[in-house]
Structures are given as C-alpha cells and as structure tokens.
Amino acid sequence: MAELQRPTLCCCRKVLTVPGNKSCEGGRSLAHCRLVDVASASNFHSFKLRHFHLDLHLNFAVKRITGWQVLELTPVQPGVQSLILDTHPSLLVHSVDCKVPGASGAPDVVLSLTYRIEPFTDYGSSLNISLPAAVIRPHRAFRVTIRYTTTDGPAIWWLDAELTCGQTRPLVFTQGHSVCNRSFFPCFDTPAVKSTYSATVRVPEGVTVLMSASRSAYSKQDRVFQFSMEYPVPAYLVALVAGDLQHADIGPRSRVWAEPCILTCAVSKLGGNVERWLNVAEGLFGPYVWGRYDIVFLPPSFPIVAMENPCLTFIISSILESQEFLLIDVIHEIAHGWFGNAVTNATWEEMWLSEGLATYAQRRITTEAYACLENPCYPFSFSFSEGVNPSSLMNLFTYEKGFCFVSYLSQLCGDIERFDSFLRAYIEKFRFSSVIAQDLLDFFLGFFPELKESCVAQREGLEFERWLNGCGPPLCEPDLSAGKALTGPVQHLCDLWGMDAPEPQVISTFDLSSWSTFQTVLFLDRLLDRSPLPQEVMSLLSSCYSALLDDMNAEVQIRWLQIVVRNSFYPDLPRVRSFLHKHTSRMYTVPLYEDLCGGVMKCFAVEVFYQTQARLHPNLRRTLQQILFQSSAFNTSTAPSLLTSPPSAPSSPTDPTANGTIALRDVNVSA
C-alpha cells in the first residue's frame, strides 16, 4: 500500500491516483488535467473537431492522390490565433481557406488563410494555419478547406500489378496506425480526438473503393464512391483500399472482399463463423455498434497481420495459409469493435488499454466458442519519448502483459461473469470516447466498491501502481491449466531437447504433423528463446524437422528459420533464401533480415536483398535498406531506388531497446 501512495507521473502527464484520491498534479481534478500526446504537433486542445470531409481523386498512373479536405471546427479556448495540424513532407499543401458563417443571416464569408509548414519529427511535420480574428470566437463553428496532393507517404501503399495477388491490376491501400495518416490528410493525429467523417472518392473505371465507413454509395456513371462514418473515430482508423476487388456475403452483416483469385479461398476458410463470433462477443460485451463487419484480404505487401478499421477489417492474405491463425486474428479484430474502436486509448503510451483489453476479450470469445490454445509471452517494454515514432515500437508487451493485468482485475472481482458485466458497463460508459488508465481504474473501483473499501481498510491488496509503472514480466499470470492437454506434449518435447544428448528414438515418438499450429509455434518459440544452441543439437533438429516444416505455413516456417539464423546453421541457409524469395510481407521479411544483420550473416542478407528487391514494395525496400546499410550518409526518407552496390555502413542496425526498459504504459505496438 505504501507504493500506491507514492504519486507517479504517467505517460499522459497525469499523476496516477490511489483509491480515495481524485486529484492530479497541482491538486486539480482529473477533468482539468491537460492531456499531452508527444507524438502529435497539433493544438487539438484548442478546438472541437465536429466532422471532416475528404474529396479525393486517385491517379494510379502517377501514384498520386489529389483533392481537398474540409474540417468543421469549434474553438473551445479564448485567444487562439492558429490551427496546428499534423502533416508529412510527402503531403503538398496548395491552399487553405476558411468559411465563416455570416452574422444575422448574412451570406457565409470565405477567407484565404496564410500557413507555414514546420518540422516536427522524422515521421511528420506541422501545418500551422493563421486564423483571423473573425474566426476565433469561442464556441462558434467555422470550416477550413485544405487543398493538397499526397503521393507515397508512410500511410499510402501503391502496389503495381505484379505486387498484387492476381498480378493483373494495381491496387492502393492506406495504413494509418499509429501516426501514419498525417501523410494521407492533415489532421489531429492523436487517438485523443475523435470525429465523424465523410468522403468522396473518384477513380478510374474498373476500380472498386472501400473505406472504414458505416455507409457507402456508388455512382457508376460518374465513377464516384461516397462514404460516411456516422460514429466518431480517431484519425488513425480512417482507411481506404482501391483495386480489383470483389465480394461475397458470409453473414447477415458481413461480407468478404478480395481480389478474384483468392475470394473463394477466403470465403471457404471463414464460412459462417464471423456471425457466430459476433454473436458470442455481443453476449459478453454488449451490442456491436458499428453496423457491418466486413473483411478485406490484402496482398502480401500489407505491412502487418491485420488492422481493426471500423466496419472493414484489413487482413493480410498470407494468413489464409493457417486456419488457426486466421481464426484468432479475425476474433481479435472483432474484439477491437468494443476495445480500441468504441473505447480508445487517449495516448499511444497507454496502447495496452486497447490491445490488452482486446486480447482479453478475444480469449473470452474463443473460450466461449472453442477450446483454443494460444501462446502468451511477456517480453520487456520499450521506452517512448518525444521524437520517437510510435509505429517503430512493435512488440507483444502491451498485448500480453495488458492481458495479464486485465485478468488480474478479473481475479480481484472473483467472478468472471461479474467482470463481463463490468466490461459491458465500461463500454456503455465510455463508448466513442478516448480514455486513460485512470478512467478504467476509477470506473473499476466504482463498479466494485467492496474492493476499494477493503483496500483502504486493510492497507494492502491492490497493485495498480506496480502493474502499470513497474518493469518486467507481469506480477501474476492467469490460470492456463485448462490448456495443459495441449501444452503438456510441447513442454515434454522441449525438456527432451534440453538434455545434453537428446535420444533420437524418444524424440521420434512425437509427431509434429499431428500437432496444431499453435503447438508447433509454441515449441519453436521455446527453442528460439534457448538459442544459441550447440551445433550438434542444431544438426539433429534439422534432420528431424526441416523437411516437415517446409510443408507448413509461414507462421511456423519463419520461427524455424529464425532459429537457423540465430544459430548460424549454414546447411539450412538455402531454406532462408527460398523463404525470402517467396514472401514479400514486412511481417516475415523484417524479422529475418534483422536477425541476419545482427549476427554473422549480413553478406548473405545483402545478396538475397539484391535478388529480391525489385519485387518488394518501396516502403519495405526502404526499411530493409535501413537495416542493411544504416548510415548517416544513407537517406531513407525518400523513396528508394534499386541498388546495385551497398553503401558503406556499420554492420548492425540501431537497437531501439538500447536505452533500457520501462513500464507497461510506456510502450506501443501495432494493431
């Protein structure tokens, strides 16, 4: 209890309070504490964003988006003289004007505004717009129109035809998480700000456009798509995809979108399961508020596994190789409909409020629907400070330690169904808003007052401070004994391989081909954790499993190949080469290149990169060039060309964890 009484500034610059203490720094109430988002240059505190509209034209020939954006704003603070939005060097602003409602029924007044672009960080700039006195009247609405062009910023992924699944037509998609959408449109690029939006998108004939919107319409004659999101969302959840896409209904409120060549496979893998999962989730956490739940499968260049864009989950087509991973990933994105989308973390440092709760919800859904083994892990955290790109801090920490903290809260209340009721009430209370950890904890103690009273009376029990601000693994782990029937054989085989001289005859009694994907992944993860291994062990592992693993899905293969690389096992390097020639997704290439460059195989990595770079998306090519040739003389901020000789560079990339570890709330992950 003594540690709970020690005030500690959290990531959003507030003091973490204890039961009975409702003040924050300086004695002010939490409602008056100013939230700080170090990843945003905007002055989002000064305005209420009511709505914004995008009017866009997609030009595939030159890979360019042109158009304008209209923001409906209301000043909420006196004396504001400028509007500051997040933007990016890849986005070219042409003009800014403002429409002010006329007084006493007079016509609206349109004013041309002056603006300047200022540097912020390596992942963005600030757009500083000067506002005339006629605009800055508190609580009086006005509109700002920004005309702009944007090309190949970090949010916008143009794919030539050869990089798509069907290799017949080009495709473009956007990926806003975490702070990338400032290169798609100027915005308050912070999860603390939510608004409704609408969009008009003009495209060439034969192109289908989808957006993360609740309503859509299409004019075939004008080749214009109209979208409207009637529920408030943060900027990072605005998403677009356009290309040769077809659909098939898979439920009363769900359809699958994909390129024609993979649509049948996607439908067969999902079947009628999505509606079943939605029904289970609604029984646990309350109504699904977004209307539709559609899924679009994207080419292998999609940089992550999946993204929980409201109404339209983006998911990588490579996941179709593994039925089990597909199941878990879709259920996880469904869970985000409640945790992350409806109720969102207000800052990136507290991303666990979305991912930890979504992971807990995902496992509640799978528990109700299936007996499903998953593989929790508890790595240490990354620090996050001003100038650090949240998108670069990608690990499982906020998923798994966040999940363990939510499980700890469930254990405190003593009844999992009572905790389900709390989560339903939490969603109802904070729906369509952004929260901090203190909001969750205050509501938790208000929902279970007996816990608060017991804590005050006994001066012990609640460990919120240590959970949120302490480093390292979780203080306790949830009961996973129900999965021992599946984990037992895995642990037994791992123990056998832990011996100095494994017995081949005993090892051969374990048939990995009969295991689930999760069992095989867990086994390989354990071996990866033990690396480096003796070369004689690696030789025996290879003779036992290499050929078998060749026929398994990419999630299994990449783990074995990371073991090969981290142990410098040269006989299996041809398998690494074949894998990197086949897979062009960031999620499979980057980990292998990082391991290759972190050891003694950098020359091999450079050779494979030269052989495959023409088939890599420019954004991924840029990332791999940075890993391979990181140097102050090598400019990775511009779109890279194909290389014929490597720049001189240090032999290993910068380690983002070199500055040590901090706490659960001070990390960020991808969706």
Q: Binding site membership for Zn(2+): which residues? A: 332, 336, 355
Provide the residue type at 193 as one letter: V
Given 399, 408, 545, 593, the catalytic residue: 399
Secondary structure E strands in 358-502? 433-435
Chain CA centroid to CA 174, Å: 13
Tell me the CA distances in angstroms from 292 to 250, 375, 423, one per residue in order.
Answer: 12, 30, 22
160 in Cβ contact with 170 (< 8 Å):
yes
Q: How far is CA 344 from CA 75, 228, 277, 357, 609, in A?
A: 23, 20, 21, 10, 39
Catalytic hit among 333, 349, 374, 555: 333
Compute the distance between CA of residue 567 and CA of residue 535 in angstroms, rounded to an integer.
8
d(C-alpha 399, C-alpha 282), whole Å: 22
CA 85 vs CA 13, 229, 328, 496: distances in Å: 21, 21, 37, 58
The yes-or-no answer on residue 545 being catalytic is no
Check if the beta carbon of residue 520 is closer than 8 Å to that of residue 534.
Answer: no
Q: Minimal CA–CA distance to 412: which of 380, 379, 452?
A: 452
Binding-site residues sit at: 332, 336, 355
Instruction: Compute the distance between CA of residue 644 and CA of residue 632 in angstroms, rounded to an integer.
Output: 19
Question: 3-state SS of 249-307?
Answer: EEECCEEEEECHHHHHHHHHHHCCHHHHHHHHHHHHHCCCCCCCCEEEEECCCCCCCEE
Among the listed residues 332, 12, 331, the one whose alpha carbon sits nearest the alpha carbon of residue 191: 12
186 touches 146 (CB < 8 A): yes
200 residue type, one letter: T
Token look-up 């990338």 returns 180
Across 622-642, b (16+ Cβ under 10 Å) vs e yields: bbbbbbbbbeeebebeeebee
Cα–Cα distance measured from residue 174 to residue 373, given in angstroms and rounded to the nearest whole number: 32
Phi and psi torsions of 13, nearest 5°: 65, 30
Q: Is 399 a catalytic residue?
A: yes
Contact 256, 266 (CB under 8 A): yes
Active site amino acids: 333, 399
